[in-house]
Each structure stands twice: as structure tokens, then as C-alpha cells.
């Protein structure tokens, strides 16, 4: 269901007519695609999502000028499988990318490879976590700045600078280790994304392009310069259910806790780490603003579909948890915005269930390019155009950690997930069911209630394609 956000300026019929006219004039010009992806952005922690603390004017502007999806999910709440699902339009089990140590094999076609065939210049600038050598580090995209195999690898400026000033980079991911630093953000591993993206857009002003700008922030370790920390010092609140009784923790949550000691983080440390985390979000928002300014300055904005997303969220203390690898909203949820005033009017909020796997088919439809017929994502095009409510959609997410396999299915009303720990080749099962309409903060697991039986049977039917795996090399 799409509804107009009451905080956004409504778009009048006259303007829609103007857009319609523009569309007919520009119909033959191929649409540019700009995907801006961050890493580990909690789906509730930006202004347009209703967060009263977050200072994110650029992400908010994208939402104001586009469609914000409030029920969007990654397909595996950890980097590599999530990213590979997004790039192939397929689930983890289909591409056999379960965890961060599983590379995507060349037999799967990525968004970049596919769009190259239609005359697009395609690039990923920044992190994508490709692994291997040669073409495996590109998967059909140009890689001017990014992973270690790219022409200019991320992190080199940072390590050179740290060597020069005799400091050690922060490697401790714990919220207890959160710190303010003063080294110039230009040497940050994300510091090259804006200049390289600007150059790419300028160089390809006359070519259709598909550009992914992929930031590492606001991924831990929790560290930001004083300017951004200062935006939040003393303004941040404790998260929901921050000191839980652990009754809704899965076995994998307990394992993470035994490694990272979430239950030993004090209230003061939670607040401090969240101030820093918010600061990192504002830093990346500022970078996004610079890319969008350049797009506008080049006169390309009208003919570009801009998408904002993240590879997964960050629990940031919600339910007493940090990082990801769980199916709670803070981890498996993602910010998800589509903006293109030429194609659909802005200020819209959609509650349709969707996620990064739907990007590939949606972009094909927006660019008027035939979709590959083996995609597992579903196009959002009819929802974006307001022709379908999207209320009947559902989506999956998977997760594999050590000897625990997990799968989630989310529809309009329910979130159902299972974890299957395996010991001595025998799987056990943990079951979670939340009513997302009545309990959006996921406080009450209804799986054991007799009245939940029919809902669970239905969710299990949807999940029947999925199998736990014994060994994932995670």
C-alpha cells in the first residue's frame, strides 16, 4: 500500500501532468541508474524513517522526492551473501553464497554484466566484497576504487596516514571501544568514493550508466570525528529492550554474546556507542549529498533513478544485541528508497514487503529492459507506479553461522523465522513468530500459542524450498 507521508509536500495533479510531458519528451533517452549503498545502516535511524534524533538531510530529501519502503529486508543479514543476492536477484541458497567466505562464481550474471549488454557503462565505486582474482573481482563492473583487487584499493590512504602519524587504526568492534578521532575524513577508506563517483559521472555524461556507490560506513568499529559526534552528544536515547531477559534470543545470539559480551556493555557505553554510530550515519549522509549535488550540476538528475539501500542493518543495542546475523528488524531491515521524479511522484511511503533482491527486476522495468527470466526477486515497478498495492508480497532472508542455519519469511502481518542448530549431524529447531502489526518492536514471540498453528503452517509451506546446511565455510 502506498500512502502520502503527511510530513511531505503533496504533489499536485498539474505537476504530475508536467512530469508526464517530460516523460514523453525523454522517453527514448536511456535511464541512468545510481544505487547508493551503505553498510550496516539500521532501517529506523534516519529522519525520513521517523527518527527524531538522526540528522540525515540528504537521505531524507531522497525520500521526500521518491518512494520510501518501510518494510524492506536484506536477503541475508551479513555482507557478502546480501550483496551477491542484490547483484544477482537470487537467494543465498540458489547462488550458494552462505557467508562472507563464499565467493560468487562467474556462472551467475550480475546486474552490471546484464546492463553492459544494453550499452550501459557500469561501475561499483567502493566496497562490494568481491573475492578471487581477475574478472572475479569485477563481475562485469568497472572497479576504479574499491575492494583490495581494484585499481585503487580502499583503506590504503587510511593505513598510510595512520603510519605517518604513528597511530593504530581502531580494530576493536565492541561498543565499549567506541571513540572520537581527529584524523581527516578525506583519508578514510570511504574518502575516495565521492571524487571517483564524480569523475565517473562526468566522464559518462553522454552514456547511459549504472553506478553503484558503496560506502563502508556506518559499519563498526564505532569511530567518527568530533564534528559528527558533536551533533549527537547528549541527544541520544537508549534503544528498545536494550537490557533484555534474553528470552527472545536464539542460540546464535547467545553464541555472539559469548564472543562479544553484549551483556557487559553499560548504559553509558551503549549511549556513547550510539552517539558515535549516529555520527557515522551523518558523515555518510553528507557524502551522499555531494554525489547528488554533482548529479544535479551535470544536469543528469531528471533522467536518473536513484536508489538508497544498505546491505543490512545494525542492532545498535536493540534487544541487547549489536551488529547483525539476526532476523530482528534492526539487523535484517534496510533503508530502501527509490527516487525519480520523472517516473513517479515523491513523498510516498509504501508498506509493501520488499528487499534488495527486488532491485534487479525493478531496475530492468524502470529502464525498459527485458528482465532475465530466472530472477527470484519480484519487480516493484507496478507498486512504484501506484498500480498495485503490493500488500500480498512476501520475502525471505537466510543466515548461516557456524553450525546454525536460519530462514525468515515476512509478509504484511507476520514475521516467522527458524534457526536450526546442528550437532553431530542432527538439526534441532528454534521457532519465532511476531505479529508485526501489533508488535512492531518484536517483544512477544507467539510461536508457542495454539492459535498461531495455522499461521506457522502457512509460513512453513512458503519456506518449504529452504534447507539448512551442514557446513557453510562461514
| Site of interaction with Ca ion (CB under 5 A) | 39, 79, 311
CA 62/CA 337 separation, integer angstroms: 7
Using the minimum distance from each CB to Ca ion, give the nearer residue, 322 or 416: 322
Using the minimum distance from each CB to Ca ion, give the nearer residue, 143 or 219: 219
Using the minimum distance from each CB to Ca ion, give the nearer residue, 122 or 356: 356
Using the minimum distance from each CB to Ca ion, give the nearer residue, 188 or 411: 188
3-state secondary structure at position 406: strand
Q: Which residue is closest to Ca ion by CB?
A: 79
- In angstroms, what CA-CA distances link 264 with 5, 128, 178, 321, 326? 40, 33, 15, 11, 19
Residue 40 beta carbon to Ca ion: minimum distance, rounded to whole angstroms: 5
269 membership: H or E segment, kind and range:
helix 267-297
- In angstroms, what CA-CA distances link 233 with 180, 220, 226, 276? 11, 18, 10, 9
**8 Å CB contact between 250 and 419:** yes
Using the minimum distance from each CB to Ca ion, give the nearer residue, 313 or 347: 313
Residue 220 beta carbon to Ca ion: minimum distance, rounded to whole angstroms: 10
Residue 86 beta carbon to Ca ion: minimum distance, rounded to whole angstroms: 11
CA 262/CA 199 separation, integer angstroms: 42
In the structure grid, which three cell numbers stand for residue 55, read together? 540528522
Residue 410 beta carbon to Ca ion: minimum distance, rounded to whole angstroms: 20
Using the minimum distance from each CB to Ca ion, give the nearer residue, 125 or 201: 125
Residue 262 beta carbon to Ca ion: minimum distance, rounded to whole angstroms: 18
CA 310/CA 392 separation, integer angstroms: 24
In the structure grid, which three cell numbers stand for residue 47, read together? 529522519
Residue 219 beta carbon to Ca ion: minimum distance, rounded to whole angstroms: 6
User: How many other CB atoms sit within 10 Å of the CB of residue 453?
Assistant: 10
Using the minimum distance from each CB to Ca ion, give the nearer residue, 271 or 359: 359
Torsion of CA 429, 438, 353, 90, to 10 degrees: -10
Residue 100 beta carbon to Ca ion: minimum distance, rounded to whole angstroms: 9
Amino acid at each position: 500500500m502506498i500512502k502520502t507521508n503527511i510530513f511531505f509536500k503533496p504533489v499536485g495533479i498539474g505537476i504530475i501532468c508536467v512530469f508526464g510531458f517530460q516523460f514523453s519528451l525523454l522517453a527514448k533517452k536511456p535511464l541512468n541508474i545510481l544505487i547508493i549503498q551503505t553498510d550496516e545502516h539500521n532501517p529506523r535511524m534516519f529522519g525520513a524513517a521517523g527518527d527524531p534524533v538522526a540528522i540525515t538531510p540528504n537521505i531524507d530529501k531522497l525520500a521526500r522526492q521518491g518512494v520510501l519502503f518501510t518494510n524492506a529486508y536484506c536477503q541475508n543479514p551479513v555482507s557478502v551473501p546480501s550483496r551477491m543476492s542484490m547483484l544477482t536477484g537470487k537467494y543465498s541458497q540458489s547462488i550458494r553464497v552462505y557467508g562472507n567466505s563464499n565467493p560468487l562464481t562467474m556462472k551467475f550474471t550480475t546486474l552490471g554484466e546484464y546492463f553492459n549488454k544494453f550499452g550501459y557503462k557500469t561501475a561499483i565505486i567502493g566496497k562490494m566484497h568481491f573475492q578471487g582474482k581477475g574478472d572475479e573481482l569485477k563481475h562485469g563492473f568497472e572497479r576504479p576504487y574499491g575492494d583490495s583487487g581494484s585499481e585503487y584499493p580502499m583503506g590504503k590512504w587510511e593505513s598510510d596516514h595512520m603510519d605517518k602519524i604513528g597511530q593504530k587504526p581502531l580494530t576493536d568492534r565492541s561498543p565499549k571501544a567506541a571513540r572520537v578521532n581527529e584524523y581527516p575524513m578525506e583519508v578514510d577508506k570511504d574518502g575516495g568514493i565521492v571524487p571517483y563517483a564524480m569523475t565517473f559521472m562526468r566522464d559518462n555524461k553522454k552514456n547511459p550508466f549504472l553506478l553503484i556507490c558503496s560506502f563502508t560506513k556506518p559499519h563498526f568499529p564505532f569511530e567518527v570525528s568530533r564534528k559528527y559526534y558533536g551533533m549527537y552528544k547528549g541527544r541520544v536515547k537508549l534503544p528498545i529492550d536494550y537490557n533484555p531477559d534474553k528470552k527472545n534470543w536464539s542460540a546464535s545470539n547467545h553464541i555472539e554474546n559469548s564472543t562479544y559480551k553484549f551483556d557487559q556493555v553499560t548504559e553509558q557505553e551503549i549511549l556513547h556507542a550510539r552517539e558515535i554510530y549516529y555520527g557515522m550515519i551523518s558523515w555518510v549522509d553528507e557524502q551522499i549529498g555531494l554525489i547528488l549535488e554533482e548529479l544535479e550540476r551535470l544536469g543528469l538528475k531528471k533522467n536518473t533513478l536513484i536508489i538508497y539501500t544498505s546491505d543490512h542493518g545494525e542492532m545498535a543495542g536493540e534487544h541487547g544485541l549489536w551488529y547483525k546475523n539476526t532476523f530482528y528488524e534492526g539487523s535484517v531491515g534496510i533503508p530502501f528508497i527509490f527516487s525519480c521524479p520523472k517516473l513517479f511522484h515523491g513523498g510516498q511511503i509504501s508498506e509493501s514487503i520488499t528487499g534488495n533482491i527486488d532491485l534487479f527486476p525493478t531496475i530492468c522495468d524502470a529502464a525498459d529492459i527485458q528482465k532475465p527470466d530466472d530472477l527470484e526477486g519480484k519487480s516493484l515497478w507496478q507498486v512504484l507506479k501506484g498500480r498495485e498495492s503490493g500488500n500480498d508480497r512476501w520475502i525471505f532472508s537466510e543466515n548461516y553461522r557456524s553450525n546454525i542455519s536460519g530462514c525468515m519469511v515476512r509478509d504484511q502481518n507476520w514475521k516467522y523465522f527458524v534457526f536450526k542448530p546442528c550437532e553431530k549431524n542432527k538439526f534441532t529447531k528454534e521457532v519465532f513468530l511476531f505479529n508485526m502489526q501489533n508488535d512492531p518492536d518484536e517483544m512477544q514471540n507467539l510461536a508457542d500459542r495454539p492459535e498461531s498453528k495455522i499461521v506457522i503452517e502457512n509460513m512453513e509451506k512458503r519456506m518449504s524450498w529452504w534447507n539448512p546446511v551442514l557446513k557453510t565455510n562461514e
